[in-house]
Amino acid sequence: MTAIFVTGTGTGIGKTFVTAALIRYLRAEGRAVDAIKPVISGFDSAAAGTSDPGVLLGALGRPITMAEIERISPWRFAAPLSPDLAAAREGRAIDFNDLTAFSRRAAMAVRGTLFIEGVGGAMVPLDQSRTVLDWMTALRLPVLLVGGSYLGTISHTLSALHVIAQRNLDIAAVVVSESEVPGASLDDTVATIARFVDPLEVIAVPRLPPDGAPHPAFGRIAALL
């Protein structure tokens, strides 16, 4: 059994795209794989197929039903805000102990590889006092950090790596997913980040069709997990 926590430098930078592509790669290799995204904000049940859990279920070859979405994403909130604020708008709150227990049960039950996709960036608040970083720390799983190639991503990526390293978490790799509106070139962004984080692997993922043929980059990433 292998469990990987996928986090990001922020929201909308490609965590779900990278996770889904890794799922498809592992399935094509004949390997068992599953994924959960326990917390999601900005969820619209009328657009479940294009939601993050819908994309993950599609990559897994699972039906995109509310029962399946409930299975992998039990904490769903409508407002596109940080989870603490999105939950508060609905008069709800995320129970941190329940969240970590759910994640551990999924990791123990999986056959093969489990991806646990976080929400937003590494420092996004989950409740009044805990962040995604605290969730990762409680689980102590290897971390796959996904960043973009937009202007500012180098600082955001190095800052995220710094706080993750402060918790003595194992960082499996850094993935730079090419942004729709990039800053420097993808290659220059990767080279600059790599210069500061050696010996960590920093892997470039160019913009690709959402469910196209697997790119060689995902074989490199999978080999590090």
Catalogue the active-site residues: 37
Strand partners, 77: 41
Rounded CA-CA distance 50/43 in Å is 10
CB-count burial class (<10 Å; 0-12, 13-18, 19+) for 63: exposed
**What distances in angstroms separate CA 15 from CA 18, 48, 66, one per listed residue?**
5, 17, 22
| Contact (CB, 8 A) for 5 and 167 | no
Name the residue among 47, 175, 177, 33 with its Cα closest to residue 116: 33
